[in-house]
């Protein structure tokens, strides 16, 4: 109860006075109570850049957060990411060159706001699989070899399904490596797994491949904030 009595004058003071004193009042409250600090500074669900964090319908919308990434593609981080990718690939043998883009591939560009319909269509999964999709970051830690993500990648969202006929993995991540390096990583990985990947310039810069009618992969890259490369990966195997 002591803390409640101490805070009441400060809260009352916050309700009146000039707006210019707001920062000073916030600082006083933060210094006295971390719970109030969180209440003052946590992102609001009405913030248009963060509204998609409401995961009440995650399996329906499957849109990732619009918040800015917490890392930046500095020159040092870019070199480190490129080197880590190269070393990881060399462990499996000689590297294949990334081919030039082929003719346009049908379908939609996969990005941070792509819904289930576009994601499923990219790997030929039936629309009914949308109901089986769910989010779980643990899925990004145990991906099949063809869908492996590169070292130093920052996973933004992971999900999928293990239901028969809808065995899917969907991963969105950020990398400090340039898009060409990211595409080469997925091209080499998919090729070694026998998925016969091809590179496309439209719609969007992408890698897509398939070994059978039910094993497919699609990887789309884009320019993200802070100089990062944004990646949307969809893998299906049944």
Same domain, 105 and 34: no
Same domain, 8 and 58: no
Same domain, 34 and 81: no
DSSP state of 139: G
Write out the H or E segment, with its range, that includes residue 181.
helix 179-192
Same domain, 151 and 192: yes
Same domain, 56 and 17: no
% of the chain surpassing 90 pLDDT: 53
Phi and psi (nearest 5°) for 223?
-80, 125
Query: Is residue 226 pLDDT above 90, yes or no?
Result: no
Same domain, 23 and 135: no
Same domain, 34 and 60: no
Instruction: Name the pLDDT band for 25 (thresholds 50, 70, 90).
Output: low
Same domain, 120 and 233: yes
For residue 37, what are the domain limits? 2-41
Give the model's pLDDT for residue 160: 94
Same domain, 65 and 142: yes
Q: How far apart are the first and last CA of the chain?
A: 60
DSSP 7-26: HHHHHHHHTSS-GGGHHHHH
Of residues 232, 229, 109, the one with CA closest to residue 179: 229
* Lowest mean pLDDT segment, chosen from 43-57, 76-90, 191-205: 43-57
Same domain, 124 and 97: yes
* Lowest mean pLDDT segment, chosen from 46-50, 73-77, 193-197: 46-50
Same domain, 36 and 66: no
In a domain, 46, yes or no: no
d(CA 230, CA 145): 20
How many domains does the structure of the chain reveal?
2
Q: Which residue has the tokens 């091209």?
A: 187
Same domain, 179 and 114: yes
In a domain, 190, yes or no: yes
% of the chain surpassing 70 pLDDT: 71
């Amino acid at each position: 109860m002591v803390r409640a009595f101490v805070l009441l004058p400060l809260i009352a003071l916050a309700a009146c006075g000039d707006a210019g004193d707001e920062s000073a009042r916030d600082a006083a409250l933060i210094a006295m109570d971390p719970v109030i600090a969180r209440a003052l500074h946590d992102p609001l669900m009405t913030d248009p850049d963060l509204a998609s964090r409401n995961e009440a319908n995650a399996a329906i919308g499957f849109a990732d957060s619009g918040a800015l990434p917490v890392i930046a593609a500095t020159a040092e981080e870019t070199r480190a990411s490129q080197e880590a990718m190269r070393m990881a690939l060399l462990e499996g043998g000689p590297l294949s060159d990334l081919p030039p883009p082929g003719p346009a591939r049908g379908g939609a560009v996969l990005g941070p706001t792509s819904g289930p319909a576009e994601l499923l269509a990219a790997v030929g999964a039936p629309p009914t699989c949308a109901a089986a999709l769910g989010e779980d970051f643990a899925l990004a830690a145990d991906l099949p070899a063809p869908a492996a993500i590169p070292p130093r990648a920052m996973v933004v969202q992971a999900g999928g399904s293990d239901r028969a006929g809808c065995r899917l993995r969907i991963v969105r991540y950020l990398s400090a490596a340039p898009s060409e390096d990211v595409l080469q990583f997925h091209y080499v990985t998919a090729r070694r797994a026998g998925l016969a990947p091809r590179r496309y310039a439209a719609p969007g810069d992408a890698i897509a491949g398939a070994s059978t009618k039910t094993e497919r992969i699609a990887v789309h890259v884009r320019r993200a904030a802070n100089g990062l490369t944004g990646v949307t990966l969809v893998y299906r195997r049944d």
